Amino acid sequence: MTYSSKNLPFTNEVNKRLKKYFGEVSCPLTYTKDYELCIAVILSAQCTDERVNTVTPILFKTFTSLEEFANAELSEIEKLIFSTGFYKNKAKSIKGFANLLLTEYNSKLPKTIEELTKLPGVGRKTANVILNEIHKISEGIVVDTHVKRISNVLKLTKSKDPVKIEKDLMKKIDPKYWMDFSLYLIFLGRKFCKAHKTECEGCPLNDICPSSKIK
């Protein structure tokens, strides 16, 4: 995937301003072991990070290893993750993920999107999070609901499909910013560019955003 230099002045400026405003950023999900991050991201589908962070401490205290997750009864996992929504599918994904990581990858998270997405419950978004956070590798850009929405607000894409959005962003953002750019958009989405209400006043992008209500 190659990016177009004509887009760089705008996306570089966006990155610069958001970095100045939010400072250094890191994944908002809490974890202590590599595989725990993957489980947390699986739980974050259609759920807020805040909710996930209230669930995982008890979950990870109950099941303290991949082996315990792999051998757990689905009902035991379901009970602890119920509040994250879609708990039955998520429980199956977590148990399947633990089993496959143990048996096929010697408990080590793979270092490519292709291999990571073979694991149950792991799509491109989760794979990108793992590569960025655990391996410090940028093969792509994380596209969650915030990134999906704000990419359209900033006119960086016209698509609603996460895969197409990721491809559009990869063409328009310098690869050295891929790792943090989506995190900045997530933080922007939480503070100013909210789904139910945009608060352009005070937003660090209000004078360059093509959708700004500040004239």
Judge whether 147 lies within some domain.
no
Task: Provide the 10 A C-beta neighbour count for residue 128.
Answer: 25
User: Which residues form the domain of 130?
Assistant: 34-135
CATH number assigned to the domain comprising residue 82? 1.10.340.30
> How far is 56 from 81, CA to CA, in rounded Å?
8
Residue 13 lies in a domain: no
By the 8 A CB rule, do 29 and 40 touch? yes
The amino acid present at 69, given as its one-letter code, is: F
User: What proportions of the chain, in percent to the nearest 5, are helix, strand and coil?
Assistant: 60, 0, 40
The predicted-structure confidence for 117-128, as pLDDT tens digits, reads as follows 999 999 999 999
Domain assignment of residue 194, yes or no: no
Number of H helices, E strands in the chain: 11, 0
Query: How many separate domains does the chain show?
Result: 1
Examine residue 1 and state whether it is found in any structural domain, yes or no. no
**Residue 176: inside a domain:** no
Q: Is residue 91 assigned to a domain?
A: yes
Q: Is the pLDDT of residue 51 over 60?
A: yes
Give the pLDDT confidence score for residue 1 in this predicted structure: 45
- The pTM of this model reads 0.86
CB 22 within 8 A of CB 184: yes
Residue 214's pLDDT is what?
82
CA distance linking residue 66 with residue 42, whole number of Å: 15
Residue 74 lies in a domain: yes
